[in-house]
Amino acid sequence: MKKIKDYVMLMKPSLSIMVVFSSVISYLLAPKVVEYDWTMIFLLFAGGMLVSGSANAINQVMEKHTDAQMKRTSGRPVASGRVGETEGWAFAVITGAAGVYLLGHYFNWLSAGLAAFSLFLYAFIYTPLKKINSVAVLVGAVPGALPCLIGWAAGDDSLTLGGWILFAFQFFWQFPHFWAIAWVAHRDYSAVGFKLLPAKEGPTKFTALQAILYSLLLVPVTVLPYFTGMCSYETLGGMISIGLIILANLFMIGRCISLYQTMEVNAARKVMFGSYMYLPVVMFALLLSKAY
């Protein structure tokens, strides 16, 4: 049982579930998906969890020594020595291959190829880049947003405008989200050489201003589906959904402004937790107003 628990920890289930959530909602938003087939939804969820879990396992193997130096991550399976590096690599290869196969076999090889590319980009480009330059956040935002394209491709068999809008939404969302995390954990991250904030000096007004700008960019992106035929605002559900999206955007912008004004860790923590709430609210709101 302890070994199973370690394997689950390798996959970082809470992070993987959030990633796969975006993929499933994007799949359901695809125009060709006109009814909920729970078997297909489960298969998409399973494939996404395996691919995301593989990327997270590789991340833990590659950052074994870094994780061991931070109290927050020192108990991870590879960092603590409960899972060896070879075992970690084997687990990552098996889960990654299984996840890509599930997506290719039951959906299409476009979504499988995107999943494989996302895994590679996250594990082998973003992960080592974190110690080199803060551009790592920009690079990491690509695999972080690809689940939306993966889900859309799985449902629509193509990469049409709606998928790219969802990709842009999750891409821009990640900047205030991850900068808030890096702000809260700045002391630990800087001690091990992670460079994740846009300013070399660490948490600064410039970083907070950047968070505000990206939260403002989310406004046009989140209302764009209503002007492309992807979602409808003419129904009751549509009116409720666009109202929720406007409120969610005001909430996110407000938290980022508060960070700029106070420059406190607690304000950054509020941006971080606020972003966790913001994402599912907007996703569910879009699903509520899907134009069939």
Instruction: Tell me: pLDDT of 291 over 70.
Output: no
Q: Give, for 208, the enclosing helix (H) or strand (E).
A: helix 205-223
pLDDT tens, position by position, 164-198: 999 999 999 999 999 999 999 988 888 888 888 88
Indicate if 211 and 256 belong to the same structural domain. yes
Q: Identify the pLDDT of residue 292.
A: 60
Indicate if 107 and 10 belong to the same structural domain. yes
Indicate if 8 and 139 belong to the same structural domain. yes
Indicate if 49 and 192 belong to the same structural domain. no
End position of a domain, from candidates 114, 129, 159: 159
Between 235 and 265, the more confident residue is 265
CATH of residue 128: 1.10.357.140
Instruction: Tell me: pLDDT of 269 over 70.
Output: yes
Indicate if 147 and 286 belong to the same structural domain. no
Indicate if 89 and 108 belong to the same structural domain. yes
pLDDT tens, position by position, 208-263: 999 999 999 999 999 999 999 898 888 888 899 999 999 999 999 999 999 999 99
List the one residue out of 204, 197, 59 whose CA is nearest residue 135: 197
Could you list the residue range(s) of the whole structural domain that residue 67 is in?
Answer: 1-159
Residue with tokens 């992106």: 221
Q: How many domains does the chain have?
A: 2
Indicate if 121 and 241 belong to the same structural domain. no
Helix 205-223 to helix 236-262 angle (10° resolution) is 170
End position of a domain, from candidates 127, 159, 191: 159
Average pLDDT over the chain, rounded to whole? 93
List the one residue out of 138, 292, 155, 152 whose CA is nearest residue 214: 138
Indicate if 150 and 70 belong to the same structural domain. yes
End position of a domain, from candidates 159, 186, 218: 159
Indicate if 98 and 120 belong to the same structural domain. yes
Indicate if 141 and 177 belong to the same structural domain. no
